[in-house]
Amino acid sequence: MERNQSFSERVRSHRLATSFVLLGTLSAGVIGGSLLTGTVHGAMQQKSDTSDATPLRVPPIASQSNQFTQIAKQVGPAVVNINTESLPKQSTNPRGRRGAVPRRGQGGGDDGQGGGDQGDMQDFFNKFFGGGGGGQGDDDDDGGDGAGGERRALGSGFIVDPRGYIVTNNHVVDKADKIFVKLSTDSENDPGRPARVVGVDKDTDLAVIKIDSTTPLPTVKLGNSDGAQVGDWVLAIGSPFSLSQTVTAGIVSAKNRSVNDGGGSQFQKFIQTDAAINPGNSGGPLLDMTGAVIGVNTAIYTQSMGSVGVGFAMPSNTVISVYNMLISPDHKVVRGSIGISFQPGISSAVSRVYGFSKGGVLISTVTPGGPSAKAGLKPQDVITAIDGTPVKDGDDLVANVAPRHPGTTAKLTYLRDGKENSVTVTIGDRAQTVASVDGEDDDKPGAPAAPDVTQTRLGMSVTAVPSELATRLKIPGGVIVSNVKPGSFADDLPLGKGDIITEVNRKQITDENSFRAAITSLKSGDDVVFVVRPAQMRTSSSFLGGRLP
């Protein structure tokens, strides 16, 4: 807690010092002239008769409540402050995270073309907000303590379910080892409530996290972003520069805005606003005049590290669709694909030569073995309609295909050599087609790798003890710790690199399979006890235990 408090104070003092220095200087000048000289001269030394002066009184409160005031009061309690910690990625010290003493010295297209990659998106956020490397995103209120030390980032979010489900940006929580959420009712010195990630979608830069609460939490209401019009009043609420519950106002400046120079994803079509958005606002709500959320504040364009009136929010209709998929049992976003790529923004000359001046999509490449390839489509074919609905351009095609479920079918109308044809295509999983194009998982395109329970539950990696070492130590086998994730359960025990685990909860460990079998049966809240031969003290065993979070 002390570390969080000191960090908060450092951030606040750092952010506010430069902002208020001019006002402080002006005030000092006035005060210096009237108070700090110590003496007064001339006519001011004469005593004045003030018997005819009328004392000033504080007037009664005059109600000036307006729509902005009402919305701020209504929505504010559901807007949260999000702090994250990113710990060093390699454990170089065998001691635990909680100060435990070391044990005796031990150790664009429908499948992704035209939208840029995630690295480009990170450059986009770094450009707009000055975020550091490592994927921390745009809201780095960096409280890091040097190379290899902890990093902290700051963002916002809003509660959409009274059970504690919160929407924010992926770049706010990306690669965070610890996430803390502070409610508007929490005290200033409260470090926040621990949160866990439910699911993320990098293509839209959205994330869902959850906190636990014994009582229902206040929530926002979601609006229909299609109803927002250019010129409509909007409010933004968030924690810019660590100043929580900050409300700013502006208008909708534009809709369906792509940020092409940042390499953003083709699934990012923003609401543009001039409501002031600054580092720390990311993940917070953009509200219409009914108090409904019509967007998630995501980024700004700036060359000064602050708002210049060009902000971008992910529309609420996109947020709702992504949220519903992230809270599903798979906790991932599934998008349809027909396995083609196309060139966005082609010239009118190209469309005239290929005979689709009234709209269509010119296929650049067809993914080998993908849905379109199986249906017989070829490069230079022009898709003009899907299920009878005309396709104007690539964005129109993606908007039609992406929401479709893999395994369903669609009738494509296309032109080849000026002749109109039609074919039925089975929709594929976009993640699988992208993996196939990238050459990943050639045997099973798109199949997720089996999770390593040792890493996910304990925060460490292990390998089998070499037979020569087992013989020398006179043990039947075991596993040796090869890496420990800082801040993890294993690190807190503390386990260290080079330690040999011979038992887990009184079950003998002989190899990696027996170790994983013992770990797989554990669940949150279980007591876990390891029998360990420390890295630098092989002749005797230590007993390390804790409750699995």
CA distance 397 to 109: 9
8, 225, 265, 282: the active-site residue: 282
Map out the domains of the chain as residue ranges.
79-89+108-333, 336-438, 453-547
Instruction: Name all contacts of 4-7 with Cβ < 8 Å and 24+ positions apart.
Output: 4/83, 4/180, 4/191, 4/192, 5/189, 5/191, 7/143, 7/152
* pLDDT recorded at residue 88: 65
Mean pLDDT of 207-233: 95
Q: Strand ranges (DSSP E) for 355-478?
A: 361-366, 382-386, 389-390, 409-416, 419-426, 428-429, 460-464
Strand partners, 420: 415
Is 171 assigned a catalytic role?
Answer: yes
Query: Residue 130: what pLDDT?
Result: 37
- List the catalytic residue out of 138, 140, 141, 205: 205
What pLDDT, on the 0 to 100 scale, is given for residue 73? 92
User: Can you point out the beta strands (E) in 474-519?
Assistant: 479-484, 500-504, 507-508
Same fold, 336-438 and 453-547: yes
Give the active site residue among 139, 171, 203, 265: 171
Q: Within the chain, what is the greatest distance between any pair of CA atoms?
A: 102
Residue with tokens 């229909």: 224
pLDDT at 120 over 70: no
| Predicted confidence (pLDDT) at residue 77 exceeds the cutoff of 90 | yes
Of 398, 260, 251, 385, which is closest to residue 318 (Cα–Cα)? 398
- Fold that domain 336-438 belongs to in CATH: Pdz3 Domain (2.30.42)
Bond before 406 cis per omega within 30 degrees: no
Q: What is the pLDDT of residues 475-533, one digit of tens each?
A: 888 899 988 888 788 888 888 888 899 889 888 988 888 888 888 888 888 888 888 88
CATH number for the segment(s) 79-89+108-333? 2.40.10.120
pLDDT at residue number 439: 47
More confident residue, 122 or 459: 459
What are 246-273's pLDDT values in tens digits?
A: 999 999 999 988 875 544 567 888 999 9
Task: Indicate the fold that domain 453-547 takes in CATH.
Answer: Pdz3 Domain (2.30.42)
